Structure 1
């Protein structure tokens, strides 16, 4: 990429695709937001800043998507449905989804603790290893 001239068409197309994928992912039921992965490397670098949560692979590389999920739908279902939607948008490309975190509703989180932060009896603790790949 040259700062003095326009971007090559392939780079512009990849950036435009990344923006469409990002919009689709952020509007997807069960997705609470983007996630950059453990090392913040799930991103598209472009003029004006990085687009976090989407990296369009080159050649046979998969499309990478990093997400924060809500708890309103089963995680495996969201991941499978999201993978299908992104793959269709990207012409059938392979898609890797990284669930980097879970967004817990504060009202639910407060009900599951005893006030001191410890899980109440019968309440399950929720945790996700950041950057864990869900296949």
Structure 2
């Protein structure tokens, strides 16, 4: 007699849930690994950069790239509120690792030498 064991479906890891919520925000251009790629969560077979879920009393760490079309403090406040709620009230540390300049401003800023336009 052969017994086949079917694994139960696994829940989506918390780090992936956080990444989905954060990247769904319209002001977030993407996640970032932070300096040396230190902000990351190791999942089976892969690494999720930009989110690190702390253990115990450690905070959740996020490193994000934001669009410059909304005030940064307000976006950080929104992200902190949503992620903290998802994590049961845990502290959330957010680093704005970079900003993305909207295309409509890139040409104007390039003339001022403020934007690197190299390919």
How high is the TM-score relative to the length of structure 1? 0.73
Kindly indicate whether the alpha-carbon contact (under 8 Å) linking 1:29 and 1:78 is maintained by their aligned counterparts in 2: no
Kindly indicate whether the alpha-carbon contact (under 8 Å) linking 1:31 and 1:67 is maintained by their aligned counterparts in 2: yes
Structure 2: gaps (5+ residues):
1-9
Q: Aligned partners of 1:89 and 1:28: how far apart in 2?
A: 15
Kindly indicate whether the alpha-carbon contact (under 8 Å) linking 2:69 and 2:102 is maintained by their aligned counterparts in 1: no
Q: Larger radius of gyration, structure 1 or 2?
A: 2
Q: Aligned partners of 2:92 and 2:79: how far apart in 1?
A: 9
1:105 CA drift (Å): 1.8
1:107 CA drift (Å): 2.9
1:24 CA drift (Å): 0.2
Paired residue for 2:103, among 93, 106, 116?
106
Give the alignment's Cα RMSD to 1 decimal: 1.8
Q: SS at 1:59's partner residue?
A: coil
Q: Which runs of 4+ in 1 moved over 2 A?
A: none
Question: Does structure 1 residue 32 correspond to structure 2 residue 29?
Answer: yes
1:109 CA drift (Å): 1.5
Structure 1 residues 102-111 or 34-43, which shifts more?
102-111
Q: Aligned partners of 1:52 and 1:86: how far apart in 2?
A: 16
The count of residues paired between Structure 1 and Structure 2 equals 106
Structure 1: gaps (5+ residues):
1-11, 120-124, 126-135
Q: What whole-Å deviation, never above 9, does each CA across 1:6-56 have from its counterpart, x for those lacking one?
A: xxxxxx87x711010000001012101001111211110112210111000
1:118 CA drift (Å): 2.2
What residue in structure 2 maps to residue 48 of structure 1? 45
